[in-house]
Structure 1
Amino acid sequence: MPPSRDRLYRTANLLALFTIGYNIIEGVVSVWLGASDETLSLFGFGVDSFVEVISGIGIWHLIRRIRANGGESRDEFERRALRITGGAFYLLTVGLAVSAGLSLFQHHRPTTTIWGIVVSLVSIALMWLLIRAKTRVGIALESPALLADAACSRACLYLSLVLLAASAGYELTGIGGCDALGALLIGYFAYREGREALQKAKGLTCSCCSCGG
Structure 2
Amino acid sequence: MTSSEQKLYKQAWLLSLFTILYNIAEGVFSMLFGYEDETLALFGFGVDSFIEVLSGIGIAVMILRIKQNPQSHRSKFEKTALKITGTAFYLLSIGLLAGIITNIVSHHKPETTLWGIIISSLSILTMVWLMLAKRKVGKKLNSDPIIADSNCTKVCVYMSVVLLVSSLIYEITGFAYADVIGAAGLIYFSVSEGKEAFEKAKGIECSCCC
TM-score (norm 2): 0.96
1:72-83 paired onto structure 2 within 5 Å:
72-83=72-83
Q: Which residue of 2 aligns with 1:140?
A: 140
Q: Which residue of 2 aligns with 1:19?
A: 19
* 1:132-181, Cα deviation, whole Å (9 max, x unpaired): 11010000011111011101111111110000001001011111200011
The Cα RMSD (Å) is 1.4
Q: Which residue of 2 aligns with 1:46?
A: 46
Equivalent residue pairs, number: 209
**Could you tell me how far apart the structure 1 residues matched to 2:204 and 2:65 are?**
20
8 Å contact 2:89–2:194 — kept in the other structure? yes
**Could you tell me how far apart the structure 1 residues matched to 2:14 and 2:206 are?**
25
Q: Which residue of 2 aligns with 1:69?
A: 69
Shift of 1:106: 1.4
Shift of 1:72: 4.8
- Name the SS for the 2:62 alignment partner: helix
Q: Which residue of 2 aligns with 1:60?
A: 60
Q: Which residue of 2 aligns with 1:208?
A: 208
Shift of 1:102: 1.3
Q: Give the share of equivalent positions with the same residue, in percent.
A: 51
- Off by >3 Å, runs of 4+ in structure 1: none
8 Å contact 1:72–1:145 — kept in the other structure? no
**Could you tell me how far apart the structure 2 residues matched to 1:37 and 1:72 are?**
47
TM-score (norm 1): 0.95
8 Å contact 1:30–1:42 — kept in the other structure? yes
8 Å contact 1:123–1:160 — kept in the other structure? yes
Q: Which residue of 1 aligns with 2:170?
A: 170
8 Å contact 1:127–1:154 — kept in the other structure? yes
Shift of 1:66: 1.2
Shift of 1:209: 4.5
- Give the gaps of 5 or more residues in structure 1: none
1:85-96 paired onto structure 2 within 5 Å:
85-96=85-96
Shift of 1:96: 0.3
- Give the gaps of 5 or more residues in structure 2: none
